Chains A and B, each alone.
Chain A
């Protein structure tokens, strides 16, 4: 029997939520507010007490800066390249690991190693593998006859490609494991039913597997987009954004602006712009996924 809650009872849920809300405010809202405020100041990291309010000047300067636009373009290549390749390789890995074969448990465990390796370590490994004087990748490519002479991959204008390769290696297992877990939760009866209806392997994959693991696909790619966009370890250690500006991405540019140029207000404006662009990207991505109707996922569910 339903009855109206009395005053005290109505207040209780808020009381219980209170500590969590307060924490959220402290941990999320306060820094966010501080960042927005700081982006409106001409502040030097050395003397933040001498900061001057400059309104939107930082934003205008950043948007007019060709280096920012270059970083934005590189960031786009970085995120799209990394996430697409990681997803493709992860999906293939998940399909492989989903089959029965001897030693499967061991392979599954080992395949997670790249994901568990720290970013700086991955950077150093790949820096030396891609080294122009005695890197193993050059050695392999020369032996395969694909190149005739060693190439300094990270000193070429396409250095971002080398960093993307390292990140794909590191990030693909994440997709493989997440997608594998989702695949294993697909009821076998559905495949049986599909086979009875005459579906081939590819059709089973397209019409049974994909729709049922769609929520996982959406969530994992979204997470990866956010992580990759903010992930600067590899670029920072492997190329520092170079040679020149060849591999500079937004987080690296805002780091340099804050800690080398000491313009912390301008750096914050960049970070805020990146956050806004990221939110727009995710919004558009979710709209696109929803329109397809596969899985019928909403922002609320995510």
Chain B
């Protein structure tokens, strides 16, 4: 009898202690996607944060990127969803339009890490014509060009720096009888990023400095026509180009079906594993080498306006953007380009050709502007209209008119 009452007291005490510690902690839910789901770096970072901040408990949920946007939409529209989340610049426009994003600038003003962020990268979290910063920069990529150094050497070609040299090399290296093509054009899912890289390198812009949509300007129509002609007129891309997505483009490059492909540093380890020195890396060729440009995309972190624990949520996402955590994340298998100057200056980045070219691109990279329809264009309209243009169903002008309309109206 006595023994059991002691046991009962102990149990009650333990329960009380557990309950009180649980009540004292601020619980922050954070959603993210992982490029390599088997990598445990992020989990380790979260555990470290929780250890360093006994008053906060960050709970993460990992969702594959393919379903990420849909699930986030569903959760938010259902009145639930996380407090903070990993976020792409494409989605800012639509979420800002729906008043779902918290302005982080008051928090950033008090954040000691802010001075270390590469200054021009703050733009990726801003909305044209609006005061405030809605996404904290974290990891970014810029597009560059992979080329088969061995094939170029065999054919006596120099790596292309301009559009003309690019086309010339592509034509020379194309040999349909041997199922070999100059360029792995990506017309399928995800192809909008490499397309934008070539568009801006050709001198086209999505918005002008005043924020007007100019993606259907005569200049843009001309560059887009050049891009479409790679497939339709010059036939330097595989016949499957209209529907080729990442897997097909990488597969064809690795199988020796294509001589060049555009991608980012995320695939550099895999490329060197397969090709060793036979793969080279170049900035995206430019129409005018004096004015290089490429496409960049930022994966940052946001706090939702629906969150109850905004302070704690910002504490966590800003901690992720501080030196130690940034260094660890950037060097993991999830790693992209670090947004902190103190991290990017390390030899690890400056001595690696793939990182070097990528970081150089950061100086002139152009991102998708956060317009209401950017998410819709990036996830559907671009692919739909590009494929129709590649099949010859619509003209370059019609394609860009549709994209401009979708960007402007969000539908």
Chain A residues with CB under 8 Å of chain B are 44-48, 131-134, 149-152, 154-155, 157, 159, 239-246, 256, 259-263
A155 adjacent to B244 (CB under 8 Å): yes
A242 vs B379: C-alpha distance when bound (angstroms)? 13
In chain A, what residue has the closest Cβ to B381? A260
Interface residues of B in 75-106 (CB under 8 A from A): 76-77, 94-95, 97-100
A154 adjacent to B240 (CB under 8 Å): yes
A169 vs B255: C-alpha distance when bound (angstroms)? 28
Q: What are 15 inter-chain pairs, A to B, with CB distance below 8 A?
A: A45-B77, A131-B240, A131-B248, A132-B238, A134-B257, A150-B239, A154-B243, A155-B239, A155-B241, A155-B244, A239-B243, A243-B387, A246-B391, A261-B376, A262-B376
Q: Which of A44, A243, A246, A256 contacts B187 (CB 8 A)?
A: A243
A242 adjacent to B94 (CB under 8 Å): no
Interface residues of B in 367-403 (CB under 8 A from A): 375-376, 379-380, 383-385, 387-388, 390-391, 393
A45 vs B251: C-alpha distance when bound (angstroms)? 36
Q: Which of B94, B189, B388 contacts A262 (CB 8 A)?
A: B94
A240 adjacent to B189 (CB under 8 Å): yes
Instruction: Say what secondary structure dominates the interface of chain A.
Output: loop
Which among B100, B238, B240 has the greatest number of chain A C-beta atoms within 10 A?
A: B240
A155 vs B243: C-alpha distance when bound (angstroms)? 5
Residues of A within 8 A of B188 (CB): 240, 242
Q: Which of A44, A132, A134 contacts B98 (CB 8 A)?
A: A44
B240 adjacent to A132 (CB under 8 Å): yes
Q: Does B158 contact A (CB under 8 A)?
A: no
Q: Which of A134, A242, A246, A263 contacts B383 (CB 8 A)?
A: A242
Residues of B within 8 A of A131 (CB): 240, 248
A133 adjacent to B251 (CB under 8 Å): yes
A159 vs B242: C-alpha distance when bound (angstroms)? 11
Q: Does B179 contact A (CB under 8 A)?
A: yes
Q: Does B410 contact A (CB under 8 A)?
A: yes
A159 vs B244: C-alpha distance when bound (angstroms)? 13
Q: Which of A152, A240, A259 contacts B73 (CB 8 A)?
A: A259
Interface Cβ pair total, 8 Å cutoff? 101
B73 adjacent to A133 (CB under 8 Å): no
A262 adjacent to B411 (CB under 8 Å): yes
A46 adjacent to B239 (CB under 8 Å): no
B 2-23 binary contact with A (CB < 8 Å = 1; else 0): 0000000000000000000000
Residues of A within 8 A of B98 (CB): 44, 46-47
Number of contact residues on B: which range applies? 35 or more
A246 vs B95: C-alpha distance when bound (angstroms)? 31
Q: What's the minimum C-beta distance from A152 to chain B, rounded to whole angstroms?
A: 3
B179 adjacent to A243 (CB under 8 Å): no
Q: What's the minimum C-beta distance from A135 to chain B, rounded to whole angstroms?
A: 9
Residues of B within 8 A of A243 (CB): 187, 242-243, 387-388, 390-391
Q: What's the minimum C-beta distance from A249 to chain B, rounded to whole angstroms?
A: 14
Interface residues of B in 249-304 (CB under 8 A from A): 251-252, 255, 257
A260 adjacent to B380 (CB under 8 Å): yes
A164 vs B272: C-alpha distance when bound (angstroms)? 39
Ranked 4 nearest A-B pairs via Cβ = A132-B240, A152-B240, A244-B388, A243-B387
Interface residues of B in 196-245 (CB under 8 A from A): 238-244
In chain A, what residue has the closest Cβ to B189? A240
Residues of A within 8 A of B240 (CB): 131-133, 152, 154-155
Residues of B within 8 A of A259 (CB): 69-70, 73
Q: What's the minimum C-beta distance from A68 to chain B, rounded to whole angstroms?
A: 14
B387 adjacent to A134 (CB under 8 Å): no
Residues of B within 8 A of A134 (CB): 179, 251, 255, 257
A275 vs B4: C-alpha distance when bound (angstroms)? 64
A131 vs B251: C-alpha distance when bound (angstroms)? 11
A47 vs B229: C-alpha distance when bound (angstroms)? 41
Q: Does B176 contact A (CB under 8 A)?
A: yes
A262 vs B410: C-alpha distance when bound (angstroms)? 9
A241 vs B380: C-alpha distance when bound (angstroms)? 10
Residues of A within 8 A of B379 (CB): 260
In chain A, what residue has the closest Cβ to B181? A133
Residues of A within 8 A of B244 (CB): 155
A134 vs B253: C-alpha distance when bound (angstroms)? 12
B380 adjacent to A46 (CB under 8 Å): no
Residues of A within 8 A of B242 (CB): 152, 155, 242-244
Residues of A within 8 A of B94 (CB): 46, 262
A244 adjacent to B100 (CB under 8 Å): no
A151 adjacent to B239 (CB under 8 Å): yes
Residues of A within 8 A of B252 (CB): 133
A46 adjacent to B73 (CB under 8 Å): yes
Residues of B within 8 A of A149 (CB): 176
A256 adjacent to B239 (CB under 8 Å): no
A244 adjacent to B239 (CB under 8 Å): no
Given A155-B243, A260-B376, A46 and B100 contact (CB-CB distance below 8 Å): yes
A132 adjacent to B239 (CB under 8 Å): yes
A133 vs B69: C-alpha distance when bound (angstroms)? 31
Residues of A within 8 A of B97 (CB): 46
Q: What's the minimum C-beta distance from B181 to chain A, rounded to whole angstroms?
A: 9
B77 adjacent to A47 (CB under 8 Å): yes
Q: What's the minimum C-beta distance from B98 to chain A, rounded to whole angstroms?
A: 4
Q: What's the minimum C-beta distance from A201 to chain B, rounded to whole angstroms?
A: 46
A245 adjacent to B384 (CB under 8 Å): yes
Residues of B within 8 A of A260 (CB): 375-376, 379-380
In chain B, what residue has the closest Cβ to A134? B255
Residues of A within 8 A of B99 (CB): 47
Q: Using A47-B99, A132-B239 as known contacts, list a sample of 20 further A-B pairs with CB atoms less than 8 Å apart, ordered by residue number in A.
A: A45-B77, A46-B77, A47-B100, A131-B248, A133-B248, A134-B179, A152-B241, A152-B242, A155-B243, A240-B189, A240-B383, A243-B242, A244-B388, A244-B393, A246-B387, A246-B391, A260-B380, A261-B376, A262-B410, A262-B411
A132 vs B241: C-alpha distance when bound (angstroms)? 9
